[in-house]
Amino acid sequence: MSSIEERVKKIVVEQLGVKEDEVTSEASFVDDLGADSLDTVELVMALEEEFECEIPDEEAEKITTVQQAIDYVNRHLDQ
Amino acid sequence: MRLQLDNQVALVTGATRGIGAAIATVLAEAGATVVGTATSESGAQRISDALSSTTGGGRGAVLDVRDAEQIKQLIDNIRDNEGAPSILVNNAGITRDGLAMRMSDEDWDAVIDTNLNAVFRVTRAVLRGMIKARHGRIINIGSVVGLMGNAGQINYSTAKAGLLGMTRSLAREVAPRGITVNAIAPGFIETDMTGELDDQQREALLEQTPMQRLGQPGDIAAAVCFLASPAAGYITGETLNVNGGLLMS
């Protein structure tokens, strides 16, 4: 079973079509990984599916970096 | 050029009669597996019967397009059975005609709900699958009255005009994902809906129509089939007039 961090990074690689070594924790989806607004929506949808949760819009807006995605999932799965 | 829709799954709303029934049959003959929606069990059965002898086959399904929960259930059901729809034809529509001064809130709301709000909800529900697949065809059935207006149809023409704006905005949003979004604006087509016209109205219409006849449901279905096909892959955000020349823009 891979860690949440690995699973999140794998989704980012798949969704944005970027290389694994580009997906650092601090990487911003838009500024560093070249995502457009539709990409970020798709990314959130993919996270929702992977972790079987629903991410409300106001939370989704705050997820702009890889680390923020990992943190969100960690927080959510704790509950 | 043959319009092939093999391996495509099409969802056609309001497919029991008229234009929707013709669209469902033509898409299925082109090879798509078609799910057509009806508001009643008997309507759904009629669609299943009509599709049973076609190339691509398909079935009827009961759906009240105004009910978000039913939409979700049907899309999930199609995904599990036929596969996620790659073609969506938003065809279901109603009329509640009346002059603006005398139109009730109920008649206004009913038409906006079914002909505009429901189109957005059904579309939103199928988008996820299309975006994942990096392919999709969304075809909204508008109306010539959405462009030229029509006395007695303020609700219907408003909804149909709104549909054209929706078509263009969505086309811009999802074009990078290989999804095209277009509208067809039928003129007056021989269906139950236009059967309500009296002889005088019919005469007046024919006078304004260079082709001097009402359209047939098959005229619209052929245009839908084209827009759904690979041949139309570079057309998006467009409104195709199919009206015998009644309005040219």
- All residues of chain A having their beta carbon less than 8 Å from the beta carbon of residue B128 are 45
Instruction: Say which CATH number the domain at A52 has.
Output: 1.10.1200.10
- All residues of chain A having their beta carbon less than 8 Å from the beta carbon of residue B177 are 38
> In this structure, are residues B147 and B185 in contact, taking their beta carbons and an 8 Å threshold?
yes
**DSSP category for residue B113:** I
Considering only the C-alpha atoms of chain A, give the largest distance between any 2 of them, rounded to a whole number of Å. 32
**pLDDT of B108 strictly over 70:** yes
Give the mean pLDDT of B32-45. 98
**Cα–Cα distance for residue pair A65/A53, rounded to 1 Å:** 19
**pLDDT of A1 strictly over 60:** no
* Structural domain of A53: 4-78
**DSSP category for residue A65:** B
> In this structure, are residues B5 and B231 in contact, taking their beta carbons and an 8 Å threshold?
no
Nearest CA distance, B226 vs chain A (angstrom):
27
Nearest CA distance, A13 vs chain B (angstrom):
15
Percent of chain B whose pLDDT exceeds 90: 93
- Quote the pLDDT of residue A79: 56
- Structure-token pair, residue B37: 């929606």
Cα end-to-end span (Å), chain A = 20
- For the question of residue B234 being annotated catalytic, the response is no
> In this structure, are residues B242 and B44 in contact, taking their beta carbons and an 8 Å threshold?
no
- If you measure CA to CA, which chain A residue comes closest to B176? A38
- If you measure CA to CA, which chain A residue comes closest to B174? A38
∠ CA B88-B13-B194, rounded to 5°: 120
A30 touches chain B (CB under 8 A): no
pTM reported for the whole predicted model: 0.92
Q: Which of B12, B34, B156, B187 is catalytic?
A: B156
B131 touches chain A (CB under 8 A): yes
Nearest CA distance, B129 vs chain A (angstrom):
11
- Number of domains observed in the structure of chain A: 1
Give the mean pLDDT of B90-107. 97
B195 touches chain A (CB under 8 A): no
- Structure-token pair, residue A51: 């972790």
- Confidence band, pLDDT 50/70/90 cuts, at residue A61: very high
Give the mean pLDDT of B115-139. 96
B133 touches chain A (CB under 8 A): no
What angle, 0 to 180 degrees and rounded to 10, lies between the N-to-C axes of helices B154-174 and B118-133? 20
Percent of chain B whose pLDDT exceeds 70: 100
Give which of B171, B167, B147 is closest to B90, Cα–Cα.
B167
Single-letter residue type at A69:
A
Give which of A58, A60, A25, A20 is closest to A40, Cα–Cα.
A60
Among B21-25, B120-124, B190-194, name the one with the lowest average pLDDT: B190-194
Residues B122-131 have pLDDT tens digits of 999 999 999 9
User: Does the model's ipTM exceed the 0.85 cut?
Assistant: no
Q: Which of A36, A39, A57, A71 is catalytic?
A: A36
Say if the Cβ atoms of B131 and A36 lie within 8 Å.
Answer: no
